[in-house]
Amino acid sequence: MLRFLVFQHMPWEGPGSHLLRAAKKQRVRLDIAELWHKPIPDIDPYNGVIVLGGAPNVNEEQKYPFLKSEKEAIQHILKKDKAYLGFCLGHQLLADALKAQVGPNFCTSIGFAEGRLTKEGRVHPMFHNISQCLPLFKWHTQAVIPPLPKEVYILATSQDCQVEAISVQDRPHLVGMQFDNHAAAISDVKTWIAGDQKLLSSKGIDGSNLLQSTAELESLIGAQFDIMFENYIRIIS
């Protein structure tokens, strides 16, 4: 059985229903590391890490001190060439570790957007049997900013964000996704709305509209996430 350590940054932003279901289906064990109040366990026994999203920006180490040890852990993961799958902040932390720039996105992106696979995305094994255009569940104000280091490929893009997914040349097991499709389920979105109400209110975003869109797209996104996660496990198996 494969084992992943999951870096969780906020109490309300857990692994997500789609990820939990897909991991169980692929017989993958997920151990949760709650970074905001516990130290990071030894990573070496694990096949890799899954790094979730959350409120911090990558440069907010003073406000969120755990980011310092997390960044050190990510460098260790890259040095050991273990599997890395990041969502939202996890995607940005991977990019930061690879010397890419992370900063404010040109727009707030909360809700759903249409993503499009790039030429590199269409041939990356993570997106095998995934349509070129796919719905993305978004919850961010920061983003990875082009241009990227030459060994870092953009796998997906959208009108809301230029860099929706990345991977690394000859290292397809290193994947970052700006979107949160692992948690695009009604139960998760309700929790996120309650947990991040301050941000939603400041941006004038109606939670009821988010829930309506989630209800319409949950099944499709869930089915696509199952395929993507199965593809990812094949990459590292």
Task: Summarize pLDDT for 211-232 with one digit per residue, the tens.
Answer: 999 999 999 999 999 999 999 9
Domain count, the chain: 1
Neighbouring C-beta atoms of residue 215, cutoff 10 Å? 12
Say if CB 25 and CB 222 are below 8 A apart.
no
Q: What is the pLDDT of residue 171?
A: 98
> Which residues does residue 101 pair with via DSSP β-bridges, in sequence order?
145
pLDDT, averaged across the chain: 98
Contact 66, 56 (CB under 8 A): no
CA max distance for the chain? 44
CATH assignment of the domain containing 62 = 3.40.50.880
> For the segment 103-121, what is each residue's pLDDT rounded down to a tens digit?
999 999 999 999 999 999 9
Domain that holds residue 33: 2-236
Query: Tell me: the pLDDT tens digits for 53-64?
Result: 999 999 999 999
Q: What does the alpha-carbon distance between residue 115 and residue 166 come to, in Å, rounded to a whole number? A: 13
